[in-house]
Structure 1
Amino acid sequence: MQQTVSAAIRAAMLECDPQAKVMAARKVARDWRLGRLDFAFDVMMPEQPGRPEAPELLPPGRMPRRRKAGSERGRIALWHALAHIEFVAIDLALDMAGRFGAEMGERFVGDFLSVAADEAMHFALIDRHLKTLGSHYGALPAHAGLWSAAHDTRHDVAARLAVVPMVLEARALDVTPSTLERVLAAGDERGARILERILDDEIRHVRFGANHFVALAKQSGAAVDELWKSLVSRHFRGTVKPPFNDSARLAAGLSRDLYAGVA
């Protein structure tokens, strides 16, 4: 008897060791693609995913101030923050597939398991890069609030899609080009190649979210922009603010008319 996809996802989410989580996420995606997992949802997703003992997770107000961007400590802090974002993103994608896959269908599961595999690869690349800088994931404190968006939208797939891919991941499309410029200015060509890879992948990730959100809106008879703005106002604690990377957002399926009205 084959393992169910939900059981495989839950096991990957509960992994605490970063490298074990990377390998587990990639294995779930591969096993799903090869037909080795049953489309069945016989276990619940965890309320909190597995986490290593380090990094220490701090609320936003207690996070240390960033060092100067050009300094060695500043570079390490930047890559450590990026590593943490990608580490949490593995669980965000796994939870999307495992929590909402039964109602959304097999294509939805496949899309977000492929996202989880991408995020695992991103984390592995960044952690390896951190080690070339003499550091590693867990060496610095990290932001505690990244999982809250998932927790707050755990009962509503439309809200989850509206907030996580279409706001949080879309924000990465906006800020990555300027980060890329800073990394290149510091002479870090290997880091720049990593960021270029991540930006290309994130466009596809946001597009997955936008496409599934549009399909949900059409099923419910709601206008896409009105539904999205309503859900963002209710479930997103921050603000959607410029500058926007309009070309990347458009490639990801987000028109300026959609988000300009809430900026």
Structure 2
Amino acid sequence: MTTLASAIRAALLTADPRAKVMVTRDVARNWRQGRLEFVFDAQMPDEPARPAHPELLPPQQMPRRSKGGSERGRIAMWHSLAHIEFVAIDLALDIVGRFGEIMGAEFVDDFLSVAADEAMHFALLARKLENLGSDYGALPAHGGLWQAAFETRHDVRARLAIVPMVLEARGLDVTPATLQRVRSAGDENGARILERILDDEIRHVGFGTKHFVALAEKAGESPQQSWQGLVSKYFRGSVKPPFNDSARLAAGLSRDFYNAIAS
């Protein structure tokens, strides 16, 4: 029987986007159907494999996206979203491969379902780009999205604090405005994609918060204070409003987590 760690490592080292989607779905399905052994006999790579395109640029070198409604601006927006979801596949796989043994089967269940969701999101966005006459890889993309994973590779609490509870939670804040713009432009297909992503991301942030709170309470610590300390240590940026308080609360991330450090 194939081990869970080796299956995840193979998915992380799959560079082609379409192939990564299929391999990730297979990992999640095989785990769910009991075809992967709960054995961690393979080391996770520090960096996942990446396709030749898109070109990855430092944040300060990324071209500024037009806020207008031009075709080029719309393609740039959907490409950026596709890249975020592509990296999110690897983030979900890596957290399982790196920390699943110490965290247990429920943690694996949760985050492999996240990986499958992210693969589906990417596939929807890649198809959207194709319908607009473009494709994933046609434009440069943010090269720093993996940095949070690398810097928290040694500590599951730090990883949970930064990736689901800061980065994905930020998606809860900004997606509604993007959704409104897309719908106002008459793009109902795009609006449905964003609605699906938003609903799933609430669940993803919820998984991160649930496991983080359980770890903090097991250690006899305040979840809120523990999270704030880890964010101050590992997050290169500020936790800033506006916040989608209702979506965050639905994910278990109440204001007493982030009010004290919001800038």
Q: TM-score range by the shorter chain?
A: over 0.9
Q: How far apart are residue 185 of structure 1 and its match?
A: 1.5
2:10 is matched with: 11
Q: CA-to-partner distance for each residue in 1:71-93, whole Å, 9 max, x for gaps?
A: 10000000000000000000000
Classify the secondary structure of the residue corresponding to 1:37.
coil
Q: CA-to-partner distance for each residue in 1:150-178, whole Å, 9 max, x for gaps?
A: 00000000000000000000000000000
Give the Cα separation in 2 of the matches to 1:184 and 1:227: 39
2:124 is matched with: 125
Give the Cα separation in 2 of the matches to 1:82 and 1:207: 21
TM score, norm. by length of structure 1: 0.99
1:89 is matched with: 88
What does 1:2-151 align with in structure 2 at a 5 Å threshold? 2-151=1-150
Classify the secondary structure of the residue corresponding to 1:87.
helix
Q: How far apart are residue 110 of structure 1 and its match?
A: 1.0
1:203 is matched with: 202
Classify the secondary structure of the residue corresponding to 1:44.
coil
AA aligned opposite 1:108: F
When the two chains are superposed, the root-mean-square deviation of aligned CA atoms in Å is 0.5
Q: How far apart are residue 257 of structure 1 and its match?
A: 1.3
AA aligned opposite 2:188: E
Give the Cα separation in 1 of the matches to 2:254 and 2:184: 31
AA aligned opposite 1:92: L
Gaps of 5+ in 1: none
Give the Cα separation in 2 of the matches to 1:86 and 1:237: 20
Q: CA-to-partner distance for each residue in 1:92-138, whole Å, 9 max, x for gaps?
A: 00000000001100110111000000000000000000111010000
Q: How far apart are residue 68 of structure 1 and its match?
A: 3.2
2:231 is equivalent to residue 232 of structure 1: yes
Give the Cα separation in 2 of the matches to 1:76 and 1:186: 14
1:174 is matched with: 173
TM score, norm. by length of structure 2: 0.99
2:193 is matched with: 194
AA aligned opposite 1:17: D
Give the Cα separation in 2 of the matches to 1:69 and 1:76: 12
AA aligned opposite 1:41: F
Gaps of 5+ in 2: none
**Aligned pair count?**
262
1:216 is matched with: 215
1:261 is matched with: 260
Give the Cα separation in 2 of the matches to 1:212 and 1:72: 41
